Chains A and B, each alone.
Chain A
Amino acid sequence: MLVLEARDLTKIYGAADARVEALRGVDLQVIKGEWVAIMGPSGSGKSTLLNIVGGIEVPTSGQILVEGVDLASLSDDQRTIMRRKRLGFIFQSFNLLPTLTAEENVALPMVLDGVKPADASQRALQKLEQVGVAHRRRHVPGTLSGGEQQRVAIARALAIEPALLLADEPTGNLDSASGAQMVRLMRELVDDRRQTIIMVTHDPQLAALADRIVRVRDGQIESDEPAGAPVAAGVRDFSPAG
């Protein structure tokens, strides 16, 4: 089943001399339970692609269908609600709200969606258990390690049970041990729960753990091929225990 379909996406910034074509006719399909890594040099357009897929930016032309809904045709509020209900984000710098506890951070998207605070807390706790940081639920981000913060961020992204999990350099700010744990967790999500993930990374070792690698250059897809290495071998490089 197709979770994401991008058709002839273009994105142009600026005009005249300052005109930059960030995406030039990108086509992409992702099926449910697939982990796609997007790679490319700086300025290649990979982040722009991720933003458009996440409904954060709108394409200049083309269609971006998430579960059949064209994000490009939605209003800002409709895209926001789409993000809230169907898209989960994991950022390089975790982006947790510093004044909220781990549990509250996870519950926040649900609270924004009108879920009763008690129910939201209950579900947040389940997600924290799932990612293994339930014991730290009452802690604010400043008192958590990088790995723990990123797990909370994943729990937040999963709280809404998203159709698509978007990750932007998810291990970029983590040490190797935490990075390995993160990767294992993502792999489990794909294998056990058929979670669809699109991940932007510079790191070939991390990309190798995905199911597919899409390489972007100058706003176009340069290559789209299955990741070669078996999963267990990839994990090896991130963790001595792996």
Chain B
Amino acid sequence: MTLWQFSVREIKSRPGRAALTLISIIIGVAAVVAVAMSVITTRGAYEEMYQTLTGRAAVEIRSEAGGGIDDAIVDQLAERSDVQAVVPILERIAIVYAGQTEAQKKRMKIQVMAIDPARDAKVRDYKLVRGKFFENGKGVLLEAGFARTLGVDLGDEVKLLTPGGLKKLAVVGLLAPEGAAAYRQGAMFVSLTNGQRLFKAKNKVDTIHLAPKDFARSEQLLKEVAASLPPGLVARPPAARSQLSKETLESTQQGLELASALSLIVAIFIILNTFLMNVSERRRQLSILRAIGATKGQIKRLLIGEGLLLGFIGTVIGMVVGMGGAFYLTRLMENLFQTSLPSLQVTPLPFVLGAVLGLGVSLLATYMPAVWASRVSPLEGMRPVAHEDLEGVSPMVTLAGLVFLAIAGVLAYAFFVGLWLRYVPIVAAVLALAGFVMLIPASLGPLSRFVTAILSPLLKMEGELAHRQLLRRRIRTTLTTGVLFVALATGIGLGTTIVNNVDDVGHWFERTVLGDFFVRATMPDMASGLSAEVPDTLGKEIMEIPGVSSVSSARVVSVQVDPAPTAETKDPVGAILIARDFVANDRLELDLREGEPEKVLKDLCAGDVVIGTVLAKRSGLKAGDHINLSREGQKQQFRIAGTSNEYFVGGLALYIQRDIARQKLGIEGVDGYAVRVGKNLDRGSRFRIETRLKEIAEREGLLMQSHEALRAMVDDLVNGITGGLWVLLAMGFVVAGFGIVNTLTMNVLEQTRELGLLRIVAMTRRQVRKMILSQAAIMGCIGLVPGAIVGAGIAYLVGRSSEGEFGRSIEFTLHPIMFFGAFLIAYAIVVIAAWIPAQRAARLDLREALRYE
């Protein structure tokens, strides 16, 4: 027999408590692993997307004035030893004509990408479905789905409108909808030499992408190249590697991180609670060990070893559960961002994080009980009756609690005055929770007395006895009320945040998405804003459908915004410009945060823009300011009529009247149509319109969705995310319920002799049961009432913290049903959990009880 085997046997002898500890660790580790893994997968996927778009390029060279670059520089750059590939690109917007017969004829605006096949293949992926790459530099490549939309197949000819007139080009290859083709769905690829000839741009390119040999040295490369370029050329990170999707991912990631941080705190408290009880229950054993020669160090190591063993098992299981959670979360993100993500990326980081946190939490929660255990006197083994509490609570704990609260307060203050550091709200919330729990021991006496006095008409004498018993075990009572406090504070904090965010999304949707039907090529990618173009003649055809009252088209393009001098950043901010048909005197379809709707609509029609609050925050601009927009070498200034709440591309969006966009920025084409039908239309007519729109969509290879279907889809997305968080919260409550069972069972075991005595002297079974339930009722009030209040505070803090991300706070509303509902459910769990030990106490065998030690 070794001490290790002794530990294992001790753990096995208390399966319930070991399971409780394990569940706590599993939940904490699983949450961390799931969040980290899904965020890595999503980020990795977006990184991959940009790499397909910009290749594995880290530097983009463009002409400052928007003109072409002499391609002689390509060879010069290729001589650099730290560059893996130098990739020149010529981009042009053109019109393509396809189809032989009148019925088949298609005309579409497209982007022509002229590439050097040999160089481009080094940094971008092209996967051919059919056909081949360029033949002697001739021919065009199309994405297979886009070719279908155009109605052309391999070997067919298309006509391209070029500065030299209509040119016939053969389709030599069809690309799979992945790699480079995926995010240039409306693009046509031609060889660079062919492109330069077609667009009369001899020896000219628009952009040069540089792929470094060592990606970690990208910034260094950028600096060096920028310094070496001739005047008129600028080097910068690739345009598509913009912060757009990162911003969008950021807020989602922050929410998930908050949830996992809170679940870790709950785990720490529960593990601490179970380990302290473990020590408390094994006091006699530990004192025997001390008496027969175990040193303090041996006892400490024994207990820490047990904690780490459970921590290790819990961490391993937590990792497996976390992978399942990550799979679920990744699918949710896939829906949320309307994009397809690759299968789960299994990298070491989430596991390292899970292992460090799982074992760290176990160690942290075991250390203090182990130190206390090592202080158990060998004398106790000789006492026939159990000792009172483990230790008095040191005033240092109260002091540390006050310090934690003070730090949390300072952080919260710093946060509100503009220190928008990412983890500040999480750290402040964690410190505030820990600080409050640390104040419980000092305030337990008065609080318990107060609660007992309030409940005395209900609890009577049993309440008074319960109160005294709770104070006898101050540490245990503190930990259990602490778990309840943290669980409810977390529950209400996150729950309220979730509901407020869902309300905010709903509000945005109702204000912004007002069509009855929507026709578009693809769902726009919510993170990058990219979408395929649809024929611009469809609007007219749709308008002709009887019953349709209006058709509003929209075009989404990427632009660069110059920041205000006061903004944090000096670099242009990447944003998505949404060019829409705004109709004067109609209802403004925006969720305005600044500006009067009527006035803003009028200003929009007159040529102003409305910017998303996130963009306003990033660029330091506000309503009434002027904004500089750059697009394909053109820079135009617009007045900002107002700011709006925006969820599209994480709020880095701005709206402009479509005609103005066309005139001033040359923005042509349509990404989608919003169709409105007459207000008093009967169901039959509505159905006929829907059927007709479906026919058109089918013919053109487009998507058609009703407002209800779109709303249902958005709701599904939101419900998916919130569902996951609710499950996490529910598990927190269930585990806290186990904690109650644990505490009260321990109390009952320890009070066995007293309970037996009370039964013999006077108490009925019912009174004994009531006394134990009273303990739960008192602990419930002490833990849950402040928990609910602090939870509301956390929700407020998190809501306000969105100001750092969104440029506005999510409106804080305390939902009475949720607030009181969560409180009552938690209270019910506490009382139900207390029922088992209460029954046990009520059914004590009196003879046994009096002999119990």
Interface: A120 (CB within 8 A): yes
A175 within 8 A of B: no
Q: Is the CB of B378 within 8 A of A56?
A: yes
Residue from A76, A107, A108, A117 whose CB has the most chain B CB atoms within 10 Å: A108
B6, B295, B381: the one within 8 Å of A81 (CB):
B295
Q: Are the CB atoms of B853 and A93 closer together than 8 Å? A: yes
B396 at the interface (CB under 8 A from A): no
**Contact residue among B10, B293, B378 (Cβ-Cβ distance under 8 Å from A109):** B293
Q: Do the beta carbons of A56 and B377 come within 8 Å of each other?
A: yes
Bound-state Cα–Cα, A75 to B326, Å: 53
Q: Which residues of B contact A103 (CB under 8 A)?
A: 1
| CB-CB nearest in chain A for B12 | A99
Q: Min CB distance, B5 to chain A, in Å?
A: 8
Given A95-B381, A97-B285: A56 and B10 within 8 A (CB)?
no
Most buried by B among A91, A112, A168: A112
Q: Is residue A211 within 8 Å, beta carbon to beta carbon, of the partner chain?
A: no
Q: Is the CB of A120 within 8 A of B3?
A: no
A81 to B297, CA, bound (A): 12
In the bound complex, do residue B3 and residue A112 qualify as a contact, i.e. CB atoms below 8 Å apart?
A: yes
A111 is contacted by which of B3, B288, B381 (Cβ under 8 Å)?
B3
Contact A120:B382 (CB < 8 A) given known A77-B297, A80-B293, A83-B292: no
Within 8 A of A (CB), among B1-19: 1-3, 6, 9-10, 12-13
Are the CB atoms of B293 and A85 closer together than 8 Å? yes
* Separation of A97 and B286 alpha carbons in the complex (Å): 9
B1 pairs with A107, CB closer than 8 A: yes
Partner of B9, one of A85, A100, A120: A100
Question: When each residue 275-309 of chain B gets 1 if its CB lies under 8 Å from chain A and 0 otherwise, what string results?
Answer: 00000000011001111111111100000000000
Asked if B379 CB lies within 8 Å of chain A CBs, one says yes
A237 at interface by CB-CB < 8 Å: no
For A78-99 the 0/1 string (1 means CB < 8 A from B) is: 0011011100010111011111
Instruction: Known contacts A57-B379, A111-B1; decide if A80 and B294 are in contact (CB<8 Å).
Output: yes
Q: Is B230 an interface residue (CB 8 A)?
A: no
| Complex CA distance for A111 and B291, rounded to whole angstroms | 14
Query: Across the interface, do B288 and A81 meet the contact criterion of CB distance under 8 Å?
Result: no
B291 cross-chain contacts in A, Cβ below 8 A: 54, 56, 83, 89, 95
Q: Return chain A residues, CB-CB under 8 Å to B290.
A: 80
Write out the residue numbers on chain B whose beta carbons fall within 8 Å of the beta carbon of A191.
none
For A77, A95, A113, A117, the residue with the greatest tally of chain B CB atoms inside 10 Å of its CB is: A95
* Residue contact A100 to B6, C-beta cutoff 8 Å: yes
Which of chain A's residues 55-88 have a Cβ closer than 8 Å to chain B?
56-57, 76-77, 80-81, 83-85
Q: CB-CB < 8 A to B2: which residues of A?
A: 111, 117
- B384 contacts partner chain A, Cβ-Cβ < 8 Å: yes
Interface residues in A126-155 (C-beta closer than 8 Å to B): none
- Residues of B near A54 (CB, < 8 A) are 291, 378
A232 to B775, CA, bound (A): 57
Interface residues, chain A, CB within 8 Å of chain B?
47, 51, 54, 56-57, 76-77, 80-81, 83-85, 89, 91-93, 95-100, 103-104, 107-109, 111-113, 117, 120-121, 156, 160, 168
A104-B6, A111-B2, A112-B293 given; name 9 further pairs at CB < 8 Å: A54-B378, A83-B292, A84-B292, A93-B853, A108-B292, A112-B3, A112-B298, A113-B293, A117-B1
The 8 lowest CB-CB distance pairs between A and B, nearest first, are A84-B293, A104-B1, A99-B9, A95-B288, A56-B378, A109-B292, A80-B295, A77-B295
12 A-B residue pairs with CB within 8 Å: A56-B377, A81-B295, A89-B291, A92-B382, A96-B288, A97-B6, A97-B285, A99-B6, A99-B10, A99-B12, A103-B1, A117-B2
